[in-house]
Chain A
Amino acid sequence: RKEVEQDPGPFNVPEGATVAFNCTYSNSASQSFFWYRQDCRKEPKLLMSVYSSGNEDGRFTAQLNRASQYISLLIRDSKLSDSATYLCAVRRYNKLIFGAGTRLAVHP
Chain B
Amino acid sequence: GAVVSQHPSRVICKSGTSVKIECRSLDFQATTMFWYRQFPKQSLMLMATSNEGSKATYEQGVEKDKFLINHASLTLSTLTVTSAHPEDSSFYICTGGAYNEQFFGPGTRLTVL
Question: A residues near B, CB below 8 A?
Answer: 2, 4, 32, 41-46, 49, 87, 91, 94-101
CB contact under 8 A between A42 and B107, given known A49-B100, A94-B32, A95-B34? yes
Q: Are A43 and B43 in contact (CB under 8 A)?
A: no
Known: A94-B49, A95-B34, A98-B43. 19 other contacts (CB 8 A): A2-B43, A32-B100, A42-B106, A42-B107, A43-B93, A43-B107, A44-B93, A44-B104, A45-B104, A46-B101, A46-B102, A87-B44, A94-B99, A95-B46, A96-B34, A96-B95, A97-B46, A98-B36, A98-B44
State how many angstroms separate the Cβ of B28 from the closest Cβ of chain A.
Answer: 16
Tell me, yes or no, whether B109 is within 8 Å of chain A by CB: yes
- How many angstroms from the CA of A96 to the CA of B34 in the assembled complex? 9
C-alpha spacing A100/B19, complex, angstroms = 26
- A44 in contact with B101 (CB, 8 Å): no
Query: B107, A100: Cβ atoms under 8 Å?
Result: no
* Shortest Cβ gap from B26 to chain A (Å): 15
Question: What does DSSP make chain A's interface, helix, strand, loop or mixed?
Answer: strand
Q: Which residues of A contact B106 (CB under 8 A)?
A: 42-43
User: Do B91 and A41 have beta carbons less than 8 Å apart?
Assistant: yes
Q: Mark B1-44, 1 if CB is under 8 A from A, else 0.
A: 00000000000000000000000000000001010100000111
A1 to chain B, nearest CB (A): 14
Smallest CB–CB gap between B36 and chain A, Å? 8
CA distance A94 to B46 in the complex (A): 12
Question: B80 to chain A: closest CB distance in Å?
Answer: 20
Question: Hey, which chain A residues are within 8 Å of B42, CB to CB?
Answer: 100
Residues of A within 8 A of B34 (CB): 95-96
* Residues of chain A within 8 A of B44, CB atoms compared: 44, 87, 98
List residues of chain A with CB within 8 A of the CB of B107: 41-43
Distance in angstroms between the alpha carbons of A76 and B56 in the assembled complex: 42
